[in-house]
Chains A and B, each alone.
Chain A
Amino acid sequence: MRLSKQAKIVLRCCVGLVLAFVYIPLLVIAVEAFNSSKILKWPPPGFTFSWFGKAFESESAREALITSIEAGVVAMLIAIILGTLISLAVGRRKFFGRETISFLVVLPIALPGIVTGVALSNTFTQVLGIPLSLMTVIIGHATFCIVVVYNNVVARLRRTSGSFEEASADLGADTWQTFRWVTWPSLRSALGAGALLAFALSFDEIIVTTFTIGAGEETLPIWIFRNLFRPKELPIVPAVAVILIILSIIPVYLAHRLSTDDGGLTPGRGAAARSTAAPAAIAEAEATAAH
């Protein structure tokens, strides 16, 4: 679009302001992690690494980290299996009720997290009589992680033609050989990306977790949340927060690499997960940006 010089300058200022708005809070929390004061204070009176040391020493934080990883891995495995099965059905076949299934997969994440949390916790405790535990957390996480795997795999299936599979069958390969040599290699990276994002989503989740977690257990986000209200532990929270940012960016970065390596879709975690529209939007955004 042809714009006047002034209009362009105004737009650039807007972009700068938005980026400042987006990044300043993240910088602030990163700086607070090195704050030598016991209260959150700006500007920090001094500089220290000690909170990181204390964070690594904290037994409860380490246990919470392990719990988070356990929950993330198991939820991810369930999501991989269920998500791939659905996408193979929806992406490669036509049948009555296909649209309903896509809707059903998205629902756990389209509804506010608190609804999913309350609904599951209510069913476990009131109807099934299952006490809340790490297992109920995993069930909750897997439910909303399915959509991430599904979105990635189904998008890949839509972009690769089913005629490759037909060709393979025509050349005499059976169902398993076709899956092993044709379908699987084309899905591999999309599945990997979906799995990593599912893990990252579970690792970071707090709303559904609060409602489904047992009394004695803590995931890392829950640990952080509880420690915010314990004045003694407060100063290590920003340090753990910085560690959490780094830990959750790694899988997303890897997922990004996996899905762009072969020109696939790039999913932004939150958006891709939470919505029907955002995955498409991001995919398009990234696709156009890559051109």
Chain B
Amino acid sequence: MATDAVVVKKRSAGRRLAGLFYGRPRLQIGSLLAAPMAWLVILYMGSLVVLLITAFWTVNPLSGSVIKEFSLVNFEELVNVPVYREIIWRTVRTAALVTVTDALIAFPIAFYMAKVAGRKTKAALVVAVLMPLWASYLVKVIAWRAMLAEHGVINWALAPLGLHGPEGGVTAVWLTMSYLWLPYMILPVFAGLERIPDSLISASEDLGAHPLTTFRRVILPLSFPAVVAGSIFTFSLTLGDYIAPKLVSNEQFIGTSIFDSITNNQPFAAAFALVPIVVVIAYLGVARKLGAFEHV
């Protein structure tokens, strides 16, 4: 007994603290999660809730001060003013177009990487596709600004053909965005194709299917959820971007409109920022139906 007491006394503060946690899983989890949850729930989720509330406030047009009273003015404006309707529609349309473009570009290379290339080529291609993700996002946008400029590469390359590149329009944004988000499509599609067992493809071939039939009846249905998974990124990233539209075009998009209204009319910017949230959530709902979350 006496020696036990001595041992207990000698236990360091650290050991005593460890003893306190022993056999108390809830306390363990609670102390691990307290700080991060405070940050994410109170600060971040709290901010999102505040954003939602602010969207119903208004700005006094004369003084520019925020009136903290419930009003639907911002939403009425978003729905009724044709310019805003057109901006939302243009952004969603561009996001859809970028998504389809990226899916079409990504599929052949992802297929080659997953099912045709040898081991070494495959590893090299994965790195080659990942590399541009590492290069600065802003630099990539600037690169496209330089390429699309009046005296840029694209006009230089098109001049002998008597053509002129896209200038400051939706086409420029479509090109830039398709470029920016392409790796986000290639990687999930590649991973999805990798998961298709070779034996299924062999079975189809052994049963006499033409390669195109194998592609249409076996490969495409099995890899479609991966394409949808990739489309979540291409779609949602296009929806919220404002740097690329600002740097390569003069057209207004959801992002640029939010950016332009934030200094003068924060409640309106908040209301506008809810638009991409709603669209992304709707899109996630559709993606879930299409099975995009089953493999990721």
Q: Which residues of A are at the interface with B, using a C-beta cutoff of 8 A?
A: 1-4, 7-8, 11-12, 14-15, 18-19, 21-26, 28-29, 32, 39-43, 81-83, 85-86, 88-89, 93, 95, 101, 104-105, 107-108, 110-116, 118-123, 125-127, 139, 142-143, 146, 174-176, 200, 204, 206-207, 210-211, 221, 224-225, 228, 237-238, 241-242, 244-245, 248-249, 252-253, 268-271, 274-278, 280-282, 284-286, 288-291
Question: Is B266's CB under 8 angstroms from A122's CB?
Answer: yes
**Given contacts A2-B211, A21-B179, A85-B32, are A111 and B156 in contact (CB under 8 A)?**
no
How distant is B122 from chain A, measured CB to nearest CB, in Å?
A: 5
Q: Is B89 an interface residue (CB 8 A)?
A: no
Question: Is B133's CB under 8 angstroms from A42's CB?
Answer: no
- CB < 8 Å: which of B135, B142, B187, B214 contacts A278? B187
16 A-B pairs (CB sep. < 8 Å): A40-B151, A85-B33, A85-B36, A89-B29, A93-B28, A108-B40, A111-B276, A115-B273, A176-B14, A210-B259, A244-B136, A248-B134, A271-B130, A271-B184, A280-B191, A282-B187
Instruction: Report chain A residues within 8 Å CB of B36.
Output: 82-83, 85-86, 146
Contacts between chains A and B (CB distance < 8 A), count: 310
How distant is A32 from chain B, measured CB to nearest CB, in Å?
A: 5
8 interchain residue pairs of minimum CB distance: A112-B240, A277-B296, A175-B18, A14-B108, A25-B143, A29-B143, A281-B191, A89-B32
* Stretch of B1-9, B76-84, B166-174, B228-236 lying at the A interface: B228-236
Residue ID in chain B nearest A272 by CB atoms: B133
Instruction: Report chain B residues within 8 Å CB of A269.
Output: 133-134
Bound: A291/B138 CA distance, A: 34
Residue ID in chain A nearest B68 by CB atoms: A126
Question: Is B136's CB under 8 angstroms from A1's CB?
Answer: no
Q: Is B54 an interface residue (CB 8 A)?
A: yes
Instruction: Report chain B residues within 8 Å CB of A244.
Output: 136, 138-139
Bound: A280/B134 CA distance, A: 17
Question: Is B179's CB under 8 angstroms from A25's CB?
Answer: yes
**Given contacts A114-B259, A245-B139, A275-B232, are A18 and B151 in contact (CB under 8 A)?**
no
Q: Is B222 an interface residue (CB 8 A)?
A: no
Instruction: Report chain B residues within 8 Å CB of A88.
Output: 32
Instruction: Report chain B residues within 8 Å CB of A8.
Output: 116
Bound: A221/B142 CA distance, A: 11
Question: Is A21's CB under 8 angstroms from B105's CB?
Answer: yes
- CB < 8 Å: which of B47, B142, B184, B232 contacts A224? B142
Question: Is B35's CB under 8 angstroms from A81's CB?
Answer: yes
How distant is A128 from chain B, measured CB to nearest CB, in Å?
A: 9
Question: Is B142's CB under 8 angstroms from A122's CB?
Answer: no
Question: Is B123's CB under 8 angstroms from A211's CB?
Answer: no
Question: Is A206's CB under 8 angstroms from B211's CB?
Answer: no
